[in-house]
Structure 1
């Protein structure tokens, strides 16, 4: 079947199925389960109206259950079982014990904590700085476009670009890596393999994510800065406040809620970081992170138990931040 025709058929079938579902479910509710007749007509109408919203929510809840809840439950089950032949058997917490005994797991935890400390702080700070400065120059919109541009690049694409920045050619040959070219220009001895330097290579990987997320932080924080009433800024200037005082004592406190949202959003991205590490070092040279550790266990070692256990660790780390974000969003809506 032609793709265009297939798309039309899919739309017609989907719309028809939704229409049929809502019509028939309401018909069943009003005519069969709670008929509006007899001595209990009023009570039945009230009961039907209490259930009716759930009829509309059911398709969305079902899809969420299939695509979100089921994978979590299945992963939890895999984390407490082990494969035996073509089947599986109960393993309890043995997979978690094995995971905790592996140095690579603790290396990934240590690196993830390092990423958590540096990347959200740096991305938010650079984004806030860019938002403030670009609002004060005539060509600010062009500058914002350039800073935001990395957001349009995939993590793997950005990794390839930065891998060229860190590239090292043999000594005596022309360096195509910008960092090595600059390093040698300012008196460096030999080209450095930056991504193989223990500890410091983590910072070189973090630079990629900071480069990407600064644009996101800038756009959100720029909108928040534009929402600050001009009267408060003008009053501070009249009272003799200098630009730094205006920024840190007037503007920053008023957009603190937005800063926290940006910070926590980038924190969640950091906890799930995988693409950059996989594409640039594959977890070698002490750059392992939790998501890459999970991938290695699941698809390289074929150890579904330990891999699923590490996936549960990632979920447990992300969940409190998500809950906190949702609570804050509800408070702001009240």
Structure 2
């Protein structure tokens, strides 16, 4: 079977694919046979047949890499020496890495709040309007674009050319500045504003997700509640503040936490637009840089573990809020 592992030709690759398909058929056949003959096969065998492959894949694909990353974070750059918590201390004490942490905090605070607020207001304003479908489709379209594509689009929007005779601006924003009689600006170069210009891209992508989820929640509000508020003489703003927002609170929590988790892992936008340079690096991009550019395995693993730890509280809070919402129902 060693020749299958050395799939360096088309025939070998096809053979490997056939073996994999046959293995899948055999495993599924055994499972179906066990289910079809429950009296002849012990229950634990059936349970193991269904759960065993999934547990094996989870162990190999998630548990082992997580434990290995945790162990690497306690070792030196080349992974040869045990250094304890030195890598974590370096993350919180080095000026460059402190900037990375500050940038990450800015992303996690601004992107969920602004995306959710924009999505909520937009969903409320276009709800039951004549062009509701078209208006929602326009905001949802960026969700269909990958982070890499969005980064490339906005990189052209921010594109800067020197302000010299004969040189035209191809960036949309800088061309607008020129039309207004202002000098072009290097949006992706000057700190700390370049970080905020990158954050705009993430907000642009996630606003459609927030709008879609919150719009569905708004439509699910009972008509009796809405009619009662109107009979009491509530204005549109009072309806929004006292009826709409409290009624969709569980959906707001889900949107905020989901966007926060995706923001913590942001890498593609930063990598495509600035490569993490000019003070724009975040934890995910710095993890990549340390691990695969500077080959500092210990520090890169420490950043990966830190990212994992930051995600856990958000997930726990999200699960608790969902359970509370189910109990209320």
Q: TM-score, normalised by structure 1?
A: 0.86
**How far has the Cα of 1:18 moved from its partner?**
2.4
Unmatched runs of 5 consecutive residues or more in structure 1 = 35-47
Q: Distance in 2 between matches of 1:326 and 1:113?
A: 22
Alpha-carbon distance in structure 1 between the residues aligned to 2:158 and 2:138 = 22
Give secondary structure in 2 for the equivalent of 1:224.
helix
SS of equivalent to 2:177: helix
1:302 aligns with 2:290: no
CA 1:10–1:226: 2 relative to 1, 3 Å: farther
State which structure, 1 or 2, has the greater radius of gyration over its C-alpha atoms. 1
Tell me what 1:41 maps to: none
> Offset of 1:151 from its aligned partner?
0.8
Taking the aligned partners of 1:99 and 1:158, their CA distance within structure 2 comes to 30
The Cα of 1:267 is off from its aligned counterpart by 0.5
1:76 aligns with 2:86: no
Structure 1, 1-10 or 176-185: larger mean CA deviation:
1-10
Alignment match of 1:260 (pick from 253, 260, 267): 253
Give the one of 160, 163, 168 matched to 1:168.
160
Distance in 2, matches of 1:309 and 1:6, equals 37
Of 131, 134, 137, 2:126 maps to 134
Closer/same/farther in 2, CA of residues 7 and 166 from structure 1, 3 Å limit = same
Q: CA deviation at 1:100?
A: 3.1
| CA drift at 1:60 | 1.7
Question: Comparing 14-23 with 117-126, which one deviates more in the overlay?
Answer: 14-23
Question: 2:138 pairs with 139, 146, 150, which one?
Answer: 146
Distance in 1, matches of 2:88 and 2:190, equals 30
Q: How far did 1:310 drift? A: 0.8
Instruction: Quote the residue 1:58 is aligned against.
Output: 52
Residues 79/254 of structure 1: CA separation in 2 closer, same or farther (3 Å cut):
same
For 1:179 and 1:283, how far apart are their aligned partners in 2? 22
For the residue of structure 2 that corresponds to 1:241, the secondary structure is coil
Instruction: Verify: 1:16 aligned to 2:26, yes or no.
Output: yes
Q: Does 1:314 align with 2:307?
A: yes
Counting only pairs closer than 5 Å after superposition, residues 143-292 of structure 1 correspond to structure 2 as 143-171=135-163, 172=165, 173-188=167-182, 190-292=183-285
Q: Is the 8 A contact 2:261 2:311 kept in 1?
A: yes
TM value normalised by structure 2: 0.87
Change (3 A) 1:206 1:181: same
| CA deviation after TM superposition for structure 1 residue 4, in Å | 10
Q: CA deviation at 1:25?
A: 9.6
Separation (CA, whole Å) in 2 of partners of 1:83 and 1:179: 42
For residues 137 and 282 of structure 1, do their structure 2 counterparts lie closer, same or farther at Cα, with a shift above 3 Å needed?
same
Is the 2:77–2:295 Cα contact (8 Å) retained in structure 1? no
Cα distance between partner residues in 2 of 1:273 and 1:160: 15
Is the contact made by 2:254 and 2:318 (CA closer than 8 Å) also made in structure 1? Answer: yes
| Alignment correspondent of 1:39 | none
1:293 paired residue among 286, 291, 294: 286
Contact 2:112/2:256, CA 8 A, preserved across alignment: yes
Q: What RMSD, in angstroms, separates the aligned Cα atoms of the two structures? A: 2.7
2:250–2:325 contact (8 Å) kept in structure 1: no
Whole-angstrom distance in 1 between the partners of 2:126 and 2:21: 44
Task: Give the whole-Å Cα distance in 2 for the aligned partners of 1:283 and 1:82.
Answer: 23
